[in-house]
Structure 1
């Protein structure tokens, strides 16, 4: 149960932060945000505030911010269609009743002759039973009412396409950027509260009943030599011990400035196809708020570089698709991490966050990077690619991504259960 809760909270946080980046920049640049969704599929919770519907959906594998103009408009008024109109105090139409007009007896019913709800914000039509064509002015904050659900109209200046290339790029980039910021914040918390691993061979936590405890080693001891071999770093110490399972080692160390030595025999532990030596110690962790800031930035950079290197190996064929993990594999690894402690879970969440940020910046259809690519092409061409063509590319790209997700998930299931 702990793993299920941790997995949902982790994915919820990653998706919320990502989509909040898109959401807040869209709002700040005047775009109309129709929906802020966490998850996909049927709604399990929804609430509407002002012009935006906030939803939680049943499949916690992503989310989206639906901005006006990114998709075809929800309602298109056609000549001959009968609609109901309600007005605000200024005499402008603020409710367009698309169906169920009998539930709105105070609405004025007209027959549409022509409608422009994007630029001119006007409807031309005539009252039922009359022949005089009138022009009805639409308020900029008018709502469609369909099946008793209200949806704000989208004047062109509130649509994604109406904004400058810089504003559109900022809105698309804001999601991945928020994932990088979250990664840095998580590494900062990790460093400030759990500690920063020091590079020298200083001992941290000693496991109970371990060879280290039985030999007399204590937290804070500084290892200087093993078998008269100089030890200058934690990596040197770790490598020397792991290569000598079941062998007696003479360890020289400093404790409170005084030198001493002792003997110890590492236990043998099976790792992959080989045996490694273990004495039951952890690396010393230094808690420092001032050092936590550069540490968080450095770790974000290092993890980003590692992910980019692995993506390069995937492109060149050095890394197989069979080695990728989907939701099932991530859940399984989350289960393992949760059992090792809270701060390891925080580090795992940080790694997934930067991964999500980088993946979304790849110039692939349906991803933020693919949509940024279209904005770049528009800047070079001097005119946008037609929405129909761009929409088709993103649709095909999304279908291929879903196919890849199915393949990766199947591989996960085979590794775990077959």
Structure 2
């Protein structure tokens, strides 16, 4: 159960901050954001604040921000439609009732002659009981359309995604992956502040309970002067000498509380990638510094970004196969293993997953953020956008292929871990 909770919290947090990036920059650009959702499928929780409905959905496998103009969302008011109108204090239409008009006794019923709910914001028609006079009504920019009792806010063109500049749209889409990288930086900084960060000082860190260092009498905090007579100036020197002497007695000269001690240690033999190295069961020392923690957050994020990009490159060039990929099941199983090592390892794992999510979303694959950014770049070069229907078809095909890939990867994970 603890693994399930850890998985849901981590995955939920990664999706939340990713979608939060989209939401913040879309709102800054003036785009009407109808829904901020974590998960897909049926709603299990919803809360509306201002113009946006915040929802949690049943399947915790992603999320989305529904921006005005991205999907067909409004009924077209065609000539001959009979609708009810309610007005605000400025005599502008603030509600257009499409059906069940009997539930709104104060509504003015008209037969539509013409309407524009995107650009000029007007509706023109004949009022019931006065069919010979054609009247024109102004629509409030924040008016809602009511169908089956459900209100949907109108989206004038200047509130729609497509109306914004290439730069504004690019920021709104890029902000999702950007937030994943920022989240990783913050998590690494928190780890460094509270747990500490690796230091290169020639000092012994925490000792493992079954290691050769503890058995030989070494202690955490011992300052290493020499090993086998070789002067030690850094933690890297200690690691190098230990690894070069598997199974051999080596003598440590250490300082412990002002006393100099000579302690012989025999590194255990460990075979890694066909090569025998020595291990004594001791971690590097850690240090805590607010300034260094800040730098550490950026350095760790940069290092992991390079590692993941290199792995993606190997996948593209065929050096890795599809079996190297992990879906939700594989991530869950890895989370279970990491959780056994403790809270801080789980935090580090969350940061790495966040970087992974950011990088994968920036790949120029249709239906992903990177695919949309690719179309924006093409628009900037051409000076005009790609036909929306053609772009939508490309994204649909890309989404279908991604779902197929997800099924294959998930099936591989199930076979690997459970069959």
Q: 1:245/1:76 Cα in 2 relative to 1: closer, same or farther (>3 Å)?
A: farther
| Cα distance in 2 between the residues matched to 1:412 and 1:235 | 37
Contact 1:39 1:57 in 2 (8 A): yes
Task: Name the structure 2 match of 1:323.
Answer: 324
| Cα distance in 2 between the residues matched to 1:127 and 1:161 | 35
Q: 1:210/1:29 Cα in 2 relative to 1: closer, same or farther (>3 Å)?
A: same
Equivalences, count: 418
Task: Name the structure 2 match of 1:29.
Answer: 29
- Which range is displaced more, 88-97 or 200-209? 200-209
- Which range is displaced more, 94-103 or 224-233? 224-233
Look up the SS of the partner of 2:205 in the other structure: strand
Instruction: Tell me how far 1:79 sits from its aligned partner.
Output: 2.7
Q: Give the 5 Å matches for 1:240-255.
A: 240-241=241-242, 247-255=248-256
**Runs of 5+ consecutive residues of structure 2 not aligned to the other structure:** none
Instruction: Tell me how far 1:38 sits from its aligned partner.
Output: 0.9
Look up the SS of the partner of 1:58 in the other structure: strand
Task: Name the structure 1 match of 2:80.
Answer: 80
| Cα distance in 2 between the residues matched to 1:220 and 1:195 | 15
| Cα distance in 2 between the residues matched to 1:64 and 1:131 | 48
Contact 1:85 1:97 in 2 (8 A): yes
Task: Name the structure 2 match of 1:402.
Answer: 403
Look up the SS of the partner of 2:283 in the other structure: strand
Task: Name the structure 2 match of 1:123.
Answer: 123
Q: 1:166/1:127 Cα in 2 relative to 1: closer, same or farther (>3 Å)?
A: same
C-alpha deviations, 1:209-260, integer Å up to 9, x for none? Answer: 6432232111122345444566665455446545766554433334356543
Look up the SS of the partner of 2:124 in the other structure: strand
Q: Give the 5 Å matches for 1:18-417.
A: 18-128=18-128, 130-208=131-209, 210-228=211-229, 233-235=234-236, 237-238=238-239, 240-241=241-242, 247-256=248-257, 259-267=260-268, 278-417=279-418
Tell me whether 1:13 sits opposite 2:10 in the alignment.
Answer: no
Instruction: Tell me how far 1:141 sits from its aligned partner.
Output: 0.3
| Cα distance in 2 between the residues matched to 1:378 and 1:298 | 34
| Cα distance in 1 between the residues matched to 2:99 and 2:273 | 66
Instruction: Tell me how far 1:108 sits from its aligned partner.
Output: 2.1
| Cα distance in 2 between the residues matched to 1:54 and 1:334 | 27
- Which range is displaced more, 217-226 or 64-73? 217-226
CA RMSD of aligned residues (A): 2.3
**Runs of 5+ consecutive residues of structure 1 not aligned to the other structure:** none
